Amino acid sequence: MSFFDKSRTVAPPGYSRWLIPPAALCVHLCIGQAYAFSVFNLPMTKLIGITKSAPGDWLLTDLGWIFSLGIFFLGVSSAIFGRWVEEGGPRKAMFTAACLWGGGFLISAAGVYIHNIWVIYIGYGVIGGFALGIGYISPVSTLIKWFPDRPGMATGMAIMGFGGGAFIASPLSVWLMARYSTPTHVGVAETFITMGIIYFCFMTVGSVIVRIPAPGWKPAGWTAPAKPKKLITSNNVYVYQALKTPQFWLIWWVLCLNVTAGIGVLGQASAMIQEIFAGKVTVIAASGFVGLMSLFNMGGRFFWASTSDFIGRKNTYFVFFVLGTILYILVPQTGAAGSVPAFVICFLVIISMYGGGFSTVPAYLRDMFGTQYVGAIHGLLLTAWSMAGIFGPVLVNYIRQYNVTHGVPKAQAYNVTMYVMACLLVIGFFCNLAVREVHRRHHMSAVEAESHVIA
Amino acid sequence: MANSHGHNNGLKLVLAWLFVGIPLTWGVIQTLINSLKLFQ
């Protein structure tokens, strides 16, 4: 196992740090498949009936749990294994994620083959969910250490890959299912096996490429600022000590509220645009809108995280909350005015900031808690994502349903939701406003910091 | 010696970026084609 040890991953002199983003992308592009899992939902409701659902076939409500379990265990595993990922090094973590992700697909294929949904819950939901959590955080602190001059841009590139993974997985899954299907068989199991093998190989390449910088390494020509900027610490906070700081919980709420505001509309985008602009926007056009939103979700991850290197993390979140609030308030007006372009522009900007919230937060944590345990602290913070993943869609669906059953026309049923989202962002604004420097009593001493260094 | 090391590094960089860039670009193009339906 020594090849996977942290000590074996220290970069030799002359190693280019620009090899780290592709290594990280190898993992994130694969685990980003999770966003495209819904392409399997309809085919999996016809495993017995083949052309249409038959008695004994799974229901969409049963299948919806697979993705929810995956996201839930993403949060759980990143919180549990964050410290292990940090101390064991990125190669071990990335290879573990590769095994779990590939293995999860193979187990799910067996579940499809024997037609037992519990096997898929365990394969994709639990084991795959663990791969999501470990894989998501595995390259974060490594990137931050390699790019002390541009940490936002570096983590933005990796987390952009998580958004982009669905672009590859969605057409690939459809193409593979078309190849493997026959008049008497839906090719889901074979597609799972093929994708499991491809993902395992792709992620393993990332784990082989990845390196950590040698102790004391700095980018050529770069020197750490003699006087650290306000809100950027040069100290380190131990992972579990971070939980005792108000800053951790404030940033937890900042992420949770930003994600809640985006995730709810992301899942409902297609239905929402069709109902608000009934007769104007077709099903096909709505699918184009969803595609455009995913592109802005991905692009926003890189754009906003890179921007945060120049304007600061706190200011970046201020932009998200202020601009997001204004846009959410404007959305009902665009609906009332019947302006599809204005509606689309509002949501594209909103969704870019949703993506930006994910990619800017690792650098925010690094500024607050230092680099030593940033990956592990990031892992703990991702529980906010799990929470938002439950509350965001529930909030949107519940408010819409309540309005419709109380006689509100469908075109206006989302108006209250938009104002609720704006209120959430206002709360987020104040949480962000309350973020101050971490008190020095939480900092690790030089001796403590040294004793925690494994490499 | 240093020159060959730098050359090797450059090749590794190109290969690594192509390895992730090609599938990502393919996926983005597919999504863009799908997105154009909004304007049809």
Listed ranges A50-59, A360-369, A443-452; the one with the highest mean pLDDT: A360-369
Comparing alpha-carbon positions, the chain B residue that sits nearest to A170 is B27
- What's the CA gap between A432 and A313, in Å, rounded? 10
Chain B residues touching A209 at Cβ < 8 A: 16
Taking an 8 Å cut-off on Cβ atoms, the answer to whether B35 and A295 are in contact is yes
How many beta-carbon pairs under 8 angstroms link A with B? 80
C-alpha angle A170-A173-A178 in degrees, rounded to nearest 5: 130
Share of chain A above pLDDT 70, in %: 98
pLDDT number for residue A72: 87
- Interface probe for B, chosen from A27, A168, A205, A207 (most Cβ of B below 10 Å), is A168
Higher pLDDT, A280 or A454: A280
Q: What is the pLDDT of residues B1-40, one digit of tens each?
A: 455 666 778 899 999 999 999 999 999 998 888 888 777 6
Cα–Cα distances (Å) from B23 to A99, A140, A201, B18, B27, in that order, read 21, 22, 14, 9, 6
Taking an 8 Å cut-off on Cβ atoms, the answer to whether B24 and A22 are in contact is no
pLDDT number for residue A201: 98
One-letter amino acid identity for A378? Answer: H
Nearest to A168 among B5, B16, B26 (CB): B26
Taking an 8 Å cut-off on Cβ atoms, the answer to whether A284 and B35 are in contact is no
CATH superfamily of domain region A239-447: MFS general substrate transporter like domains (1.20.1250.20)
Taking an 8 Å cut-off on Cβ atoms, the answer to whether B17 and A22 are in contact is yes
- What's the CA gap between A347 and A351, in Å, rounded? 6
- What's the CA gap between B25 and B32, in Å, rounded? 10
Position A455 confidence tier, pLDDT thresholds 50, 70, 90:
very low
Say yes or no: A19 contacts chain B, CB-CB below 8 A.
yes
Taking an 8 Å cut-off on Cβ atoms, the answer to whether A19 and B16 are in contact is yes
Token readout for A77 is 């595993």
Residues on B contacting A at a C-beta cutoff of 8 Å: 5-6, 9, 12-13, 16-17, 19-21, 23-24, 26-28, 30-32, 34-40
**CATH no. of A2-209:** 1.20.1250.20
* CA dihedral for A221, A22, A234, A303, sign (positive or negative): positive
Fold identical between A2-209 and A239-447? Answer: yes
**What pTM was computed for the model?**
0.89
Tokens 């841009």 — which residue? A153
pLDDT number for residue A129: 95
pLDDT number for residue B5: 62
Position A287 confidence tier, pLDDT thresholds 50, 70, 90:
confident
Q: What is the pLDDT of residues A131-185, one digit of tens each?
A: 999 999 999 889 999 999 999 999 999 899 998 898 899 889 989 999 999 999 9
Which residue ranges make up each domain of chain A? 2-209, 239-447
- What's the CA gap between A343 and A322, in Å, rounded? 18
Q: What is the pLDDT of residues A74-120, one digit of tens each?
A: 999 999 999 999 889 999 999 999 999 999 999 999 999 999 999 99
pLDDT number for residue A438: 93
Q: What is the pLDDT of residues A296-337, one digit of tens each?
A: 999 999 999 999 999 999 999 999 999 999 999 999 999 899
Q: What is the pLDDT of residues A10-40, one digit of tens each?
A: 999 889 999 999 999 999 999 999 988 888 9
Model ipTM value: 0.89
